[in-house]
Amino acid sequence: MVFSNKRYLTLYYILVNEHENPAAITIRTVVRPRNQLSLTPDELKEEITRILTADDPNVPRNISKFNYRDRCFKLDPPGHSDHMAVHTALEGCLLHVDSHEYHKQEEREKKKEEDTASRMTLHKQSGILASSLPEKHKNLFNYSERSSQTINHPLRSRGVSTEQPPVTQYSANVSVWQIYDSYVSDLMIMNMEHQDGGSVEKRKISFEDRMAVVQGENVNAPKDIVNSDDMCKAIKITERLINQNSQDEIYHDFKYFEDASDEYRAREGSLLPLWKFATQRVKKGQQVTALCWNTYHDDLFAVGFGSYDFLQQGSGNVACYSLKNTSTPEVFFTTESSVLCLDFNVRHPSLLAIGCYDGNVFVYNICSKNPNPIFSSSIRTGSHNDPIWEIHWEKKDNGAELNFYSISSDGKVSSWTLSRNELRMELVMNLTLGQSGKAEPEDSPLVGFACGSCFDFHKKQSHLFVVGTEEGHIYKCSKSYSGQYLQTFTGHHMAVYTVQWNIYHERVFLSCSADWTVKVRIRSMKVNIRCLLLSSVMIVKHPLHIIFSLSLSLFLLLTYSIIALGSK
């Protein structure tokens, strides 16, 4: 037999004898292939190094991808994962023999075998051959093809611009007399320096000082210390110290007073008068018509003076008192008409809005030395035709411009906006005598206006407010619907003097009237939930104002002559 390959040729001679064991004689001869190179011994001894790499020669190397940052196509070289070729992949699961999962799987398989055996037995008994049953083959190929497409993000461009620097325009007029006075002042100052022997230091002199030199005044003269602002501030502090030292016991009672007899009286308390505020600037016959505490300074309150004798009206006054100095008012203003209402701004506690008998409103700055108002209404900007009974600042910050609301006997609820140069008026609602408050058609008879006497805005929903009228009706209104009322409340037979929302219960508000009743109402119900009738034994003319307390069940009733404490 002959076996051959590329390099060797082997001849095997096998001798077989019937009686002897076989023996083989092998002769090996080197056979050179035809395409083999003929190399010298030195070339055969030369070592040639070959490096095997894991790179796949079939992977393409000329793939280009779009670069969104540079906005051009760039060559993408193959990565390390591109050379990996997966020949086969099998999903397997190994379970430990002693594990709980293995025992459950073994029980499942045994149960499956038993079910198969029982089914085969049942088929045999019914005469169906097992060979006729369909055979279940396993799915040898678990292949699924999936495709996905990435989302190309759209191009976006962003730009940033800085705020423009503030620009201030300055302008001045120069006349002939100003130039002449400037030259004269320079000449006089040079003469003064020459007379002093040049001892006067050279400094920058303002135009006011130059004018003082021209008028004959001495620039280097000391200022009037007695009439300066620092002296006024020092005198005010000294006056407060003297008053507090002289009234030390009263200030002590103001902080720590407790009446021991209150323990023996269940629902009665004692009232201790502390101070009496008065000023000689108020005319004789004027009455206190309005009171308002400052929203920032707890010791400061404003008092409005006027007259309830409507046939004899005169000027009014506003005084701001402080508990630190009870002898004299801190600020005092005089108005042309009687003051009927006032209110401090919450965000700017130095602004005080005033409503007068003649229908005009004023805004004062109590920190300013100028006694004139900074804003006032007029015929051009708008005003009420009848007395203004109540005024409220807008507590919600709507923007840069401040505004407040007022109600008057002319049946108007108005909004006043403090613009840069004037006080603008805007009508919010016209109060009519109808129960619904809807606008009547043109062919309907004339409907009179209701005389508004008080109003109050909701503590959380700033667009809702209730209005009390002199006819005894209470209307729930909204700033969004100026043509009709949201709800009408009846029950009072005389003028409603005050309405006020509860600061804790959003739906409850209180009203007091000249019919000697105080009623607690819910805005979604027309029926009163509680009514307090002031006894005729009490010396009460008319209730004027009510104040909710922090205890949720008490309120204060301010009348002409007494202060009554009521319970809901």
CA separation for the pair 125, 111 (Å, rounded): 21
Confidence at residue 390, expressed as pLDDT on a 0 to 100 scale: 92
Residue 238: phi and psi, rounded to 5, are -65, -40
Across 343-362, average pLDDT: 90
Q: Residue 359: in which H helix or E strand, if any?
A: none
Alpha helices in 247-396 (DSSP H): 248-256
Q: Which of 516, 479, 523 is nearest to 500 (CA)?
A: 523
And the tokens for 460? 């959380």
Residue 353 has pLDDT above 90, yes or no: yes
Confidence at residue 431, expressed as pLDDT on a 0 to 100 scale: 85
Contact 457, 392 (CB under 8 A): yes
Residue 319 has pLDDT above 90, yes or no: yes
Confidence at residue 391, expressed as pLDDT on a 0 to 100 scale: 92
Q: Of 141-155, 290-304, 499-513, where does mean pLDDT reach its minimum?
A: 141-155
Q: Of 47-51, 212-216, 265-269, 329-333, where does mean pLDDT reach its minimum?
A: 212-216
Q: Which of 433, 560, 542 is nearest to 496 (CA)?
A: 542
HSE-up of residue 392 (Cα within 13 Å, Cβ side): 18
Bigger pLDDT: 542 or 457? 457
Tens-place pLDDT, residues 168-189? 888 888 888 888 888 888 888 7
Contact 389, 453 (CB under 8 A): yes
* Interior angle at CA 81, CA 78 and CA 87, nearest 5: 120
Confidence of residue 72 (pLDDT cuts 50, 70, 90): very high
Tens-place pLDDT, residues 408-444? 988 889 999 888 778 888 888 888 876 544 444 544 5
Residue 17 has pLDDT above 60, yes or no: no
Q: At what angle do helices 248-256 and 229-246 cross, to 10 degrees?
A: 70
CA separation for the pair 363, 413 (Å, rounded): 18
Confidence at residue 344, expressed as pLDDT on a 0 to 100 scale: 92
Across 42-46, average pLDDT: 88
* Cβ contacts of 562 within 8 Å, gap of 6 or more: 538, 539, 540
Across 4-8, average pLDDT: 42
Percent of the chain clearing pLDDT 70 (strictly above): 75
The alpha carbon of 52 is separated from its chain's Cα centroid by a whole number of angstroms, namely: 70
Confidence of residue 12 (pLDDT cuts 50, 70, 90): very low
Bigger pLDDT: 555 or 24? 24
What is residue 83's DSSP assignment? G
Confidence of residue 320 (pLDDT cuts 50, 70, 90): very high
Confidence at residue 78, expressed as pLDDT on a 0 to 100 scale: 84
Q: Of 72-86, 119-133, 230-244, where does mean pLDDT reach its minimum?
A: 119-133
And the tokens for 446? 């004339």
Residue 255: phi and psi, rounded to 5, are -95, -40
Residue 564 has pLDDT above 50, yes or no: no
* Residue whose entry in the numeric block shows the structure tokens 């308390």: 269
CA distances from 448 to 382, 409, 439 (A): 21, 12, 12
Confidence at residue 538, expressed as pLDDT on a 0 to 100 scale: 29
Residue 7 has pLDDT above 60, yes or no: no
Residue 50 has pLDDT above 60, yes or no: yes
Residue 66 has pLDDT above 50, yes or no: yes
* Cβ contacts of 233 within 8 Å, gap of 6 or more: none
CA separation for the pair 262, 272 (Å, rounded): 13
Contact 373, 366 (CB under 8 A): no
Confidence at residue 137, expressed as pLDDT on a 0 to 100 scale: 57
Q: Where are the beta strands (DSSP E) in 191-315?
A: 287-293, 300-306
Per-residue b or e along 292-327, where b marks 16 or more CB atoms closer than 10 Å to that residue's CB: bebbebeebbbbbbbbeeeeebebbbbbbbbbbbbe
What is residue 400's DSSP assignment? S
Across 400-407, average pLDDT: 86
Across 83-87, average pLDDT: 82
CA separation for the pair 541, 472 (Å, rounded): 17
CA separation for the pair 80, 55 (Å, rounded): 9
Confidence at residue 4, expressed as pLDDT on a 0 to 100 scale: 42
CA separation for the pair 154, 534 (Å, rounded): 76
Tens-place pLDDT, residues 533-554? 554 322 233 344 444 333 333 3
Residue 556 has pLDDT above 50, yes or no: no
Confidence at residue 446, expressed as pLDDT on a 0 to 100 scale: 54
Confidence at residue 223, expressed as pLDDT on a 0 to 100 scale: 63
Confidence at residue 18, expressed as pLDDT on a 0 to 100 scale: 44
What is residue 537's DSSP assignment? T
CA distances from 568 to 499, 509, 538, 543 (A): 15, 11, 19, 17
Query: Average per-residue pLDDT in the chain?
Result: 77
Number of H-type helices and E-type strands within the chain: 6, 28
DSSP per-residue letters across 482-515: -SS-SEEE---SS-EEEEEE-SS-TTEEEEEETT
Which residues on adjacent β-strands are paired with residue 415? 405, 426
